[in-house]
Structure 1
Amino acid sequence: MASVMGLLEDRELAARVRVEGLREKADRVLAELAQAETDWQEWLIARQRVDEVLSAPQRSETGVAGRVSVEDSCAPEPEAAAEVLSVGAPAPGAARAGSIVPVWRPALTADVLAVDYQQILSALTERRTDEGGVMTCQEIAVILGLELCPASVEGVRSKMKRLADRGWAAEPAPGRFTLADGPACGS
């Protein structure tokens, strides 16, 4: 028969082995947690830096001339493109191409938007007064004088989604857009 002290020593040894195993596991988890927290902090800092850069006023428009957008891959002939761009020439102090679309509020007018967005809102305004206002991205691309290729239609779709998300336009049905009630009221 085993002694009581021997049984206690066996149980103590088993408990100590379990505690050491759990400590090793906890150390691994804590190390993994520290790495995950570091990654999270780095992503947070990156997002904050990008927010700072995007919210800072642009001093000059140098450096954007070499950039090519998705729409450029199937843009109309240069003469037609000049006509499209001259329709909505930006007012002094207006947003430059590629700028952020602000959330619509009563004090804002379409002048704060880039020319592309102004042209889209103009097309929606004309359609609203003429025919009820709901348009597809293909129809908007045709009005803007863009070639009907997937890249230009997708560019219009992404702009329309952005305008709808920020309150300038509405999407009453998937893929169909109209001018939102706020901007339509003349603000």
Structure 2
Amino acid sequence: MVRAHRTAAQTYGSRDHRVHRGCTHGPPLPGTVRRTTGATAPDRPDIPDHPAYQQILTALADAGRPIRARDLCQALDLPILPKNTEGIRSKLKRLVSRGILIEPEPGLFARPNA
């Protein structure tokens, strides 16, 4: 059985392409496909681009009032378990630290214009 292995010099010519941990620039490796998501960027660049944050912001807008993490879990149809409420609470705190939400009282989260 003969295996066809190509070195980087054979693949890319004489150019020196070194791969470093966390390095994503440079030409793609043979046989790899660069994938892009069809999702659009959030309205504000400081909003994390994860569906959970979009769902949280939508649920807060629908509520129209300040809401607690536990109540938000119910609104998102998540089981009321510590792992879910703490996960939602940490996301809410992250949104507060970025200035997207406010925390008028400890544990109570709202949109700044609500």
SS of 2:103's equivalent? strand
Distance 1:112 1:154, change over 3 A: closer
Match among 166, 175, 180 for residue 98 of structure 2: 166
Q: CA RMSD in A?
A: 3.0
TM-score for the superposition, normalised by structure 1:
0.38
Cα shift at 1:108: 1.6
From the CA coordinates, give the structure whose radius of gyration is larger: 1
What is residue 150 of structure 1 aligned with on the other side? 82
TM-score for the superposition, normalised by structure 2:
0.61
8 Å Cα contact 1:123/1:143 also seen in 2: yes
The runs of at least 4 aligned residues of structure 1 exceeding 6 Å deviation read: none
Cα shift at 1:114: 1.2
What's the CA shift string for 1:124-176, capped at 9, x where partnerless?
11111xxxx11000000111111000000000000000001101111000000
What is residue 49 of structure 2 aligned with on the other side? 113
SS of 1:153's equivalent? helix
Distance 1:171 1:111, change over 3 A: closer
Q: Which amino acid aligns with 2:39?
A: P
Cα shift at 1:92: 2.6
What is residue 123 of structure 1 aligned with on the other side? 59
8 Å Cα contact 1:91/1:111 also seen in 2: no
What is residue 40 of structure 2 aligned with on the other side? 93
Q: Which amino acid aligns with 1:93?
A: T
In 2, the alpha carbon distance for the partners of 1:162 and 1:112 equals 9
Cα shift at 1:93: 3.2
Task: Flag structure 1 segments of 5+ consecutive residues without an equivalent.
Answer: 1-52, 62-89, 96-106
Task: Flag structure 2 segments of 5+ consecutive residues without an equivalent.
Answer: 1-21, 26-33
Distance 1:91 1:179, change over 3 A: farther
In 2, the alpha carbon distance for the partners of 1:165 and 1:119 equals 18
